[in-house]
Structure 1
Amino acid sequence: MLQLKYLRENKNEALKALEKRNFKDSNLIDQLLELDEKRRKTQADLDQQLAEANSLAKEIGQLFKSGAADKAQVLKERSAALKVSSKELQDNLQEAENQLRSLRLQIPNIPKEIVPSGTSEEDNIETERAGEIPSLSEDALPHWELAKKYDLIDFELGSKITGAGFPVYKGKGARLQRALINYFLDKNTEAGYQETQVPHLVNELSGYGTGQLPDKEGQMYHVTGDDLYLIPTAEVPLTNIFRDEILEEKQLPICLTGYTPCFRREAGSYGSHVRGLNRLHQFDKVEIVRLETPERSEAALDEMVDHVRKILIELEIPYRILRLCGGDLGFTSALTYDFELFSTAQDKWLEISSVSTFEGFQSERLRLRYKAKDGSKKLVHTLNGSSLALPRVLAGILENCQTPEGIKIPKALVPYTGFDMIS
């Protein structure tokens, strides 16, 4: 959430910045600021009444001790009236705070200055392209056909067991999947990220903390009997480890990595863009999360982007990096870079990673702060990235590495797979 103090002092600046997201609801912010003014006045009145009540309590005690019971009784009546009115003010304050939170949850993060304006993915800016796109034979196959040919992934069996979007990995397909997970975790831990295993279900507070609720509740699987949510990404439990915490500056940065399955109830559609591994309801992903001071967060984002870049270079995958425009930016993000690999067999780019900084937006929701060296309490800056999402990486390897003899495994993965060819 955006801080109220920021919105009070920078309303016009905030509205101008939010235009990059095509957010132009100035009435919402006016309503929020008006309610905030009412809340602060209510708080001031309540503080005054509570102070008066405390003063009266002391005076009443002294009057009883001195034998002035009549005077004490008059003050007791005033004290009783204050108790009633202060209870009403407390109720009004709680209602105002609930309404404020509801309004604040509707306002997205402020995009950073370098975020381009735009309305959709068509307006994203390509910042880098690297890697050699292989030349495949005319009879090259898309990954779903390769998976069937070499008995690596069974999409129909997954549909039988669960439904569309839940594939079953088999034999060398399962081994390649496990190899990628271990490879990504090893690369991340070598770079200083602490491996962390987290629950695959989270409570409602965790969903609100990182911004999946109320923005994406329709995309999350909800276990209604226990009011828990299957995680859409490891970002949610990893970041919520620090909800309601006040850290010491010397603890920062905190760098974590974790492997989890991810679950997403994305709207179904048809066509090659959702075939095979292109879009799933359950998939595996290795995530990286960082907690930084505001002064270090920009450099940290660059380091995360460079980290993912090095992995893709080592895997010999042709890739490009996009800086997302305001219209394609996630609700909580201040700046996001997407990585895409080129699928030669499908002749298109496939997103395989997003690396984002949220600055203090998530921390305001999480009530996550750190105590600076000067003693002040400041919002921690949070960042996260896919390092990496497996389905499309695996699809890219199958398609781009196919040869007449079979699928050649990238050299970096051979120590993890135990084989260098699928045939």
Structure 2
Amino acid sequence: MLQVNFLRDEKERVLEGLKKRQFKNLELVDEAIAADDERKRIQFELDSQLSEINKISKEIGLLMKEGKKEEAESAKSKTAQYKESSSELKSQLEGKENDLMNILYQLPNIPNELVKNGASAEDNEIIFQSHTVEGLGEGAIPHWELAKKYNLIDFELGVKIAGAGFPVYLGKGARLQRALVQYFLDKNVEKGYTEVNPPHVVNEASGFGTGQLPDKEGQMYYINEDKLYLIPTAEVPVTNLYRDVLFDEKDLPVKNTAFSQCYRREAGSYGAHVRGLNRLHQFEKVEIVRIEKPENSYAVLEEMVEHIKEILTDLELPFRVLRLCGGDTGFASAMTYDFEVWSAAQEMWLEVSSVSNFETFQANRLKCRYKGDGKSQLVHTLNGSAMALPRIMAALLENNQTADGIRLPKKIAEYARFDVIN
């Protein structure tokens, strides 16, 4: 969430940033500033009346000691009037604070100056590509056919149990999935991340804290009876571990990694690009989360990018890195890098990771600060996928198919304890 003082002091920059995002409701900036002005006016009037009540209350005590009962009763009457008025002001203040928060919740983060102006994914910048890519040629088949051929994943069983988008992994498919998760976690721990195992459901406050609510409410599964949401990513519970936390400067940075199931409704998704593992309602992912001092966060973002590149190199997959344009950058992010792997059988790029710097946007919602040099200030939060499983699995199956079976990359074969699927 953006801070009102930032909207007021950097209004021109804010408007330019929102335009870069193709955000249409620019009037919300002025509405937020006006709501804050009114909030301050009400607060000042309330503080003045409460001060007057305290002053008169002291006078009443003195008047009673001096035996001036009539003057004391008159003062009590005036105090009663002030109390009634201040009660109304408190109600007005609460209403105006809610109005302000509702406006601020609608405003996305301001993109970093390096983020390109653009409307959609077509405007994203390719900043790195590991290989020139090509298809596998005649006879190559997509991962959903390979999964059926080698009895690795049963999509129809998932439909029977839950519906489309909930695959069942079998035999070597399940073992490969587990091997990938363990490899990703180990790789992250080697880089200094502390593994945590968070809940897979969160409350409303947690959804607001990381920016899923209200922006993505329609994409999250909701448990009505308990007022809980199934998590779309481990980022949500892990980052919320630090909601309402005041760090000492020496305790930063914080580096966490977590494995979880992820649940996304993916409402409105259809077409060839959602076949097989390309888009699911439930999938597995390993996440990395960082809590950093503001001056370090962009160097850390680049460090996280290099970490993901290292993982994909180990997987021996052709990949590329994109810096998202303003129109394709997520609601809460100031800068995002996407990683895509080449699907040789489908002859298309598949997104497998996003690494983002949210600057203070999440921290302001979370009230997550650190204390240094005698003052407290908001931290910067960052997160990334390291990695999402479905499309990694799809690319591994497709890119490594041979006449003799599917041959696994050396690193993953060590974890899976088999090197070929046949």
| Superposed pair shares fold, TM > 0.5 | yes
Distance in 1 between residues matched to 2:194 and 2:134, nearest whole Å: 35
Distance in 1 between residues matched to 2:332 and 2:153, nearest whole Å: 35
* Residue matched to 2:402: 403
Give the unaligned 5+ runs of structure 2: none
Contact map agreement 1:15 1:24 (CA 8 A) in 2: no
- 1:98-137 matches, cutoff 5 A: 98-131=98-131, 133=133, 136-137=136-137
Distance in 1 between residues matched to 2:136 and 2:36, nearest whole Å: 62
Contact map agreement 2:135 2:347 (CA 8 A) in 1: no
- 1:52-131 matches, cutoff 5 A: 52-131=52-131
Contact map agreement 2:284 2:389 (CA 8 A) in 1: yes
* Residue matched to 2:316: 316
- 1:14-413 matches, cutoff 5 A: 14-131=14-131, 133=133, 136-372=136-372, 374-413=373-412
Structure 1 residue 32 displacement after superposition: 1.5
Amino acid aligned to 1:287: E
Structure 1 residue 389 displacement after superposition: 0.1
Distance in 1 between residues matched to 2:335 and 2:410, nearest whole Å: 33
Contact map agreement 2:60 2:76 (CA 8 A) in 1: yes
Structure 1 residue 288 displacement after superposition: 0.3
Identify the range of structure 1 (70-79 vs 346-355) with the bigger mean alpha-carbon deviation.
70-79
Contact map agreement 1:156 1:167 (CA 8 A) in 2: yes
Amino acid aligned to 1:254: V
Secondary structure, counterpart of 1:236 in structure 2:
helix
Distance in 1 between residues matched to 2:267 and 2:36, nearest whole Å: 37
Amino acid aligned to 1:309: K
Identify the range of structure 1 (33-42 vs 10-19) with the bigger mean alpha-carbon deviation.
10-19
Structure 1 residue 394 displacement after superposition: 0.5
Contact map agreement 1:256 1:290 (CA 8 A) in 2: yes
CA RMSD of aligned residues (A): 1.1
Structure 1 residue 63 displacement after superposition: 1.8
* Residue matched to 2:415: 416
Deviations 1:117-138 (A, max 9, x none): 1100000000000046476341
Secondary structure, counterpart of 1:354 in structure 2:
strand
Contact map agreement 1:253 1:292 (CA 8 A) in 2: yes
Distance in 2 between residues matched to 1:173 and 1:411, nearest whole Å: 17
Structure 1 residue 238 displacement after superposition: 0.3
Deviations 1:146-187 (A, max 9, x none): 000000000000000100000000000000000000000000
* Residue matched to 1:6: 6
Distance in 1 between residues matched to 2:10 and 2:272, nearest whole Å: 46
Deviations 1:69-96 (A, max 9, x none): 2221111111111100110110000000
Distance in 1 between residues matched to 2:251 and 2:49, nearest whole Å: 41
Identity, in percent, stands at 59
Distance in 1 between residues matched to 2:229 and 2:398, nearest whole Å: 34
Structure 1 residue 65 displacement after superposition: 2.1
Distance in 1 between residues matched to 2:2 and 2:210, nearest whole Å: 13
Distance in 2 between residues matched to 1:180 and 1:115, nearest whole Å: 32
Distance in 1 between residues matched to 2:26 and 2:145, nearest whole Å: 51
Structure 1 residue 21 displacement after superposition: 0.5
Distance in 1 between residues matched to 2:323 and 2:133, nearest whole Å: 21
Aligned residues between the structures: 422
Identify the range of structure 1 (391-400 vs 2-11) with the bigger mean alpha-carbon deviation.
2-11
Structure 1 residue 28 displacement after superposition: 1.6
Distance in 2 between residues matched to 1:190 and 1:106, nearest whole Å: 39
Distance in 2 between residues matched to 1:78 and 1:10, nearest whole Å: 44
Distance in 1 between residues matched to 2:23 and 2:114, nearest whole Å: 17
Secondary structure, counterpart of 1:331 in structure 2:
coil
TM-score scaled by length of structure 2: 0.98
Contact map agreement 1:131 1:316 (CA 8 A) in 2: no
Contact map agreement 2:134 2:347 (CA 8 A) in 1: no
Structure 1 residue 213 displacement after superposition: 0.5
TM-score scaled by length of structure 1: 0.98
Distance in 1 between residues matched to 2:71 and 2:349, nearest whole Å: 83
Distance in 2 between residues matched to 1:257 and 1:207, nearest whole Å: 19
Amino acid aligned to 2:421: I
Structure 1 residue 239 displacement after superposition: 0.4
Amino acid aligned to 2:249: E
